[in-house]
Amino acid sequence: MGEVVQRVSEPSIRTAAVGPWMHGSGWALAALLAFPAPPFEVAMVKPTTIALRPLGRASPSTLAAIASTIAAAFGASVVIGDVLSLPEAARDSGRGQYLSPALLDVLASARRPEWDRLLGVADVDLYVPDLNFVFGEADSRRGVAVFSLARLHAGPDDEGARLFLRRAATEAIHELGHTYGLGHCGDRRCVMWFSNTLAESDGKGTAFCPAHAAQLARARAGAAAAVIGRLPAAHSSRTNVT
């Protein structure tokens, strides 16, 4: 299992405790155990640091919850960095949305050499020109991804809060999977399944299927470097409004 590291202010960091949300609900552990153990253990691959950077006003508790699930899913240390400013040039005032490729550019500029991957957590709605909105987008060549919390909110009660965190974790792991060269999956239970709706996303959870877990382990070990190099430079997870 990985560990969560919480920033104080860059470049200083300190270890943060895992919040009680995971232990109380049990959904994250259940999701990670939904599939049999893959032939390659992700956690046995060389140590990895994945960074989270909020874009906007994502709450510390939300970031900590996402970080905990990422640490478990990837066997990585997770660093939570300072807030990145949303570029005004990326905002379409008519749509009330931000252009996701522009946010990927911001993240690519902010990525540090010691970070294996950098994931942006945006609190604004995202789009690309040919679609109504996107949940997230990833660039495997530059090792960055972004996803939006804007459409993931559920009810105001405790159950709604747990569902929101579960959705956020699912989108985070899905987009990070793309940065390691993972494509969409035909298994509806796999986190790499392409979700057209929130209902489909809710059904798949945060676990990789055995095939994608093995591919992830190979990618992180460097065995699949040639294959990854032939993948498109950017991969979008896009969903039309239905």
Place of tokens 């747990």: 162
C-alpha distances in angstroms, 166 versus 52, 65, 223?
17, 9, 31
From the candidates 3, 41, 88, 175, give the one annotated as an active-site residue: 175
Task: Specify the DSSP class assigned to residue 15.
Answer: E
- What is the separation of C-alpha 218 from the centre of its chain, rounded to a whole number of angstroms? 19
| Distance between CA atoms of residues 22 and 107, nearest Å | 28
Which residue(s) pair with 53 in the sheet?
120
| Distance between CA atoms of residues 62 and 25, nearest Å | 15
Q: Is 41 in the active site?
A: no
Q: Are 110 and 69 in contact (CB under 8 A)?
A: no
| Angle between helix 60-74 and helix 158-179 axes, rounded to 10 deg | 50
Catalytic residues: 175
